[in-house]
Structure 1
Amino acid sequence: MGDDLAFYTRVTLDHIMNELCKQSECFKSINQNRSSEDPAINSLEECTLELGRLRKLLTQQTDSCQAVKNEKNETTYSVEKYNQEIEQLNDLLKQKDEQLEVLIEENDCLCVAAEISKNKLDDLDYQVQKLDEETRHMEQGIVESIGLIQDIGDVSHENELLKGKKSQLEDGEARQLINDLSKQLEDCREQSRLIREINEEMGKTLQKLGINPKEIENKIKLIESSKQELFDKDLSGMEPPQQLKEPFGSIKESDKDLEKTLLPPSGFSGVYEAQNNDIKEPKTNSLEVSTDWPNKGAGLETDREAKNSPPSGTANGVAIEGEKLNAVVAESQRNFLKNREEEQV
């Protein structure tokens, strides 16, 4: 028994010594591997304290790692969310690019359409200018036609007066003069017939242009009636006309006198000058050339009456509206001459 106890005791002591040696070596190893900030470990109590400190540090590191991990997860989620938004923005950008391409194509189409419209507008402007020029020529022709009708009406009226004096002529010279006047009267009638035909062509042309010839005729009649009223009022205060030394003068000479009386010295330009010198025109939109003469002449009866006639407020007593009807006369005359040439052929 004693031997066994001694054996076990020795073995136990050896084991304890070995453990102490191992503990000493372990402490040396720990002290060698520790950092300069860590405390030295030379006993179990210090080791236990250091172990507790390390466990706390490990817990702190674990918490820090968990926080970093959570932050990483949040960052990853944010990155994924931002990536999705970037993809959506890219898709939206692609859609906008497609829409922009469509808008560019539409803009090109609109530019082409605008160019076409501009060309059409230029063409329309040219047509309007051309139409305005034609209207101006028509107005000039109407003015000339009205002057011719006035002259022919005056000549016809004077011829009617000369017919009344025909019975007083007995000698051969007077009869020869009457024959000349008759021939001139026939020429005037032929000219009157031609003027009627021209007026018919002119009326057709006016109707094509949308102008009612009846309205023009009524306006001319109204102007002539007002002119006659003014003439009748002043006629009572006039001296009786003197007898001409040559009562049977040439109709052509009386035509020249009528032209001097009815028209300004500068022709139609004189009419415009008279209009510019505060001569007021009646407010009319259009004129019509009457075809009921010679019995209804548009001019004055004699040269003396023309000279002594009161101003009617218009040039030649006829309201001429600008130049709108000139081209109608020109076109009517051309059509009439063309028809006569075709008839002659």
Structure 2
Amino acid sequence: MKTLPSVRTTAAAAFALTAAALLTACGGPAAQDTAKPAAHASAAAGTAGGGARTTYPAQVANCGRTVRVERAPQRIVSFFPSNTELLLELGLGNRIAGQTWTNQSPPKPAYADAYGKVKVLAPGEISREALLSARPDFILADGEYQFDGKKLPTIDELAKLGVPVYIDSAFCPKSTGTATLDATSTDLTSLGTLLDVSAPAAEAVADVGKRLATVDTALKGRPATSAAMVQIVDKQLYALAGGLYSDIVRRAAGTNVLDKDVPKGSNFAPLSVEALAKRDPDVLIYHYTGDADRAASEQWLKEHLGATKAVRTNRLVAVPAADFSELRAVDGALALAKALHPDAF
């Protein structure tokens, strides 16, 4: 998730990470926190609680390429809060060399203690020096945008250097506009294989199914609530629609009225105040990255969209940006369902 991709892309400082350096050195109401405690936070390396062990080398398909590891990674770098939490859920806290993009959301309370023990390599985009000092042997990233051969080497270049990169499958370039919540289970299964934690991964997949079934049961037969999902960045309004964003709204028995305002194959686009006012949704869902951003975004919406039904009835739903990625996407679906249909739970 997921926070607006262009925000981090345009704010990022460009840098080059050379192959030679890598070889030598071998990121209304608030939605309630519904995350369960990390079931495997103390699990040792390898598959916790028995189960099939990975035979190395191992490989999986991801974003149209093959991600291959020669042995179980021991120095994982996580690019995004929800990815760090997923790794913690799989019992891999002692194998995370560091994390970045921590400024995109605070951790869920259930993960806060373990999360706080993971080294922060950078609060935003990682620098050359910080990444090299981490000596990664695996990267779990929220998107491909950083690996452009300028700020960082390309994913293919990193793979050749022995640093495989796995991308959140909901944000693979070719599936960004069509991804669904199924991507979370896909990633859990793939990472279970690559990181030799298949048993806890399978347990997490089963739990995802149960939690989403709870949402489906509670909302069965409910009429969809019209909603618009947005983010305000530097006083510019953006539509968040399509792909995982709109699938989460659908799962919460809502309809994202901005689906036609985002280009096909994408999941965000600049949006005018006039266009959003014309859609006049029952609910406004807005992403935020921290308390200050949340307050500023709510004030901006009230000032610019005061005539809309959502503002007049105070149906503004604030959601952390990271609630739209990996396991937090499941949390986000449940929290949003409760916000749109509070009498169903």
| TM-score > 0.5, shorter chain as reference | no
TM-score range, shorter chain: under 0.3
Larger radius of gyration: 1
Give 1 or 2: higher helix fraction.
Answer: 1
Q: Which has the higher relative contact order, 1 or 2, with Cα contacts under 8 A spaced 6 or more apart?
A: 1
TM-score by length of 2: 0.24
Give 1 or 2: higher strand fraction.
Answer: 2
